[in-house]
Amino acid sequence: DTEVTQTPKHLVMGMTNKKSLKCEQHMGHRAMYWYKQKAKKPPELMFVYSYEKLSINESVPSRFSPECPNSSLLNLHLHALQPEDSALYLCASSQDQFRSGNTLTRTLHFGNGTRLTVT
């Protein structure tokens, strides 16, 4: 069990579908992250939210749309995906966002991910 909960665990969608991935944490963390992980590769950062505002977008295509309704929830809206978008999508949280000069310990707490298959 993890302190970051992701739903659904598995998702299969067609290229014309619209779906959403959800992530929830109740640790009082103020930074939340979306990572994408392809098979046998490291997690790659997609988005960072800090205090419910989008802080970092790593040049992610617009077919991925993040949303942070409140400090505990993080969504990733999916539309018109491609088969190559199939991957494990991981959500993480941390006490605060990593910042220059910020010496808070930078520990990421991950959920177990959503395995997405685009057909």
Partner 1 sequence: LAKTTQPISMDSYEGQEVNITCSHNNIATNDYITWYQQFPSQGPRFIIQGYKTKVTNEVASLFIPADRKSSTLSLPRVSLSDTAVYYCLVGVASGGSYIPTFGRGTSLIVHP
H-helix or E-strand containing 101?
Answer: none
CB of 79 to partner 1, least distance (A): 24
Token pair in block for residue 83: 């088969």
Stretch that binds partner 1, among 12-20, 62-70, 77-85, 107-115 (CB under 8 A): 107-115
CB of 85 to partner 1, least distance (A): 18
Closest C-alpha among 66, 115, 112, 119 to residue 87: 115
When the beta carbons of 10 and 62 are compared against partner 1, the nearer one is 10
When the beta carbons of 7 and 15 are compared against partner 1, the nearer one is 7
- Tell me the DSSP string of 31-67: EEEEEEE-TTS--EEEEEEETTEEEEE-S--TTEEEE
Segment 30 to 69, residues that bind partner 1, using CB under 8 A? 33, 41-45, 48, 55-56, 58
Which residues, at least 6 apart from 29, have a Cβ–Cβ distance to it below 8 Å? 71, 93, 94, 95, 96, 109
When the beta carbons of 55 and 71 are compared against partner 1, the nearer one is 55
Q: Rule CB under 8 A: say whether 100 interacts with partner 1.
A: yes
CA dihedral 9, 33, 26, 113 (to 10 degrees): 10
Residue choice 106, 116, 117, 118 for contact with partner 1 (CB under 8 A): 106
Q: Rule CB under 8 A: say whether 95 interacts with partner 1.
A: no
Q: Rule CB under 8 A: say whether 13 interacts with partner 1.
A: no
